[in-house]
Homo-oligomer: A and B are copies of this chain.
Amino acid sequence: MEVENRYIAVRHHVECSPSEDDFEVKSAAVHWTAESGEVLVRNMYVSIDPGQLNRMKRHSASHHSVGPIVPGERIVAHRVGEVLASACPEYEVGDVVAGVLAWEEYTLFRPSPVMCKVDASSGVPLSYHVGVLGMSGTAAYGGFFEVCRPQSGEKVFVSAASGSVGSLVGQFAKLAGCYVVGCAGTQAKVDLLKGKLGFDDAFNYKEELDLKSALNKYFPDGIDIYFENVGGEMLEAALANMNTYGRVAVCGAIAEYTDPAGRRAAPSLLEVVYKRIALRGFLSYDFMAQFHEYNAIIRNWIREGRIQVIEDVSNGLESVPSAFAALFRGENVGKKLVKLS
């Protein structure tokens, strides 16, 4: 079997805010044979994640751990697809699989632990497997429960709280009995946090002249846990408001991705010392061994209606570049993903 596969590539290294012009749609034939030992998948949903920008840079701390994205080549991403042809006994035509592949329409793969079969009849939308039941959910669960080690009653601050990970962390924190405040960049997002997602409070950071004072207002008793997604001034303001033995889970720093020469967070080390603050970076991949365990818990919470899943879906492979660029303008609400034809 042969299909024409269209995929997205970067034309060159991307060092600052990405634009659609940084990308191109390329095309190549994909051959599958019954003797190949491979599975051919038609992709249905692909994940759009801000961290991918770091991998598009010429130099980045990401290259040693998750590898660079090479101009002209396929861009690895989490996706869900349907098996079109299989030369492996473990997979049959019509199976739905989820795992780490690429921003492309068709993918050939060999059986691997990172490609999971998905029960398409379970009633869970298939798109969830690129987000809440994919790496976003794993990052949120592992980052919050393992890195932050929350106690009931603790005060939790989440930045980029309406994003794919932040929107889950805030809800997990409520389930853990914590008090949760999130920040986001539009009033509509703030309304979502306080309404549908059940945050105790939320604010629009763009409307605050002084983030330190704002956090002091929202956390009169201080912050015990900060789930960090943005970096920059927000980290400084959070540290200034943290309690003794506060914990910071550093999941991302989107404000620092797009401007490598720009202003970085300069957290007060005196706060770190005297409050005995612990900051820890992590990647969703760190929790791969717990992936199925976390997924089962999250899936139950979804079934029981205890967490809400927010998705922001664009359509068609061509929309991947604009969907990706929009992430850095804060235009997505919830998990950003692209539905392929």
Contact = CB atoms under 8 A, between A and B. Distances in A.
A274 B54 contact: yes
B275 A65 contact: yes
B276 A269 contact: no
A62 B274 CA distance: 5
The bracket for how many chain A residues form the interface is: 35 or more
B273 A269 contact: no
Given A275-B281, A278-B280, A256 B269 contact: yes
A274 B283 contact: yes
A253 interface: yes
A275 B281 CA distance: 7
A231 interface: yes
A273 B61 contact: yes
Copies of this chain held together in the complex: 2
A270 B60 contact: yes
Contacts of A231: 269
A211 interface: no
B286 A281 contact: no
A273 B283 CA distance: 7
Given A264-B266, A265-B266, A265-B269, A274 B244 contact: no
Contacts of A272: 250, 279-281
Interface string A251-273: 11100110000011111111111
A142 to B, nearest CB: 11
A148 to B, nearest CB: 13
A175 interface: no
Nearest to A63: B274
A323 B80 CA distance: 67
B270 A61 contact: yes
A276 B270 contact: no
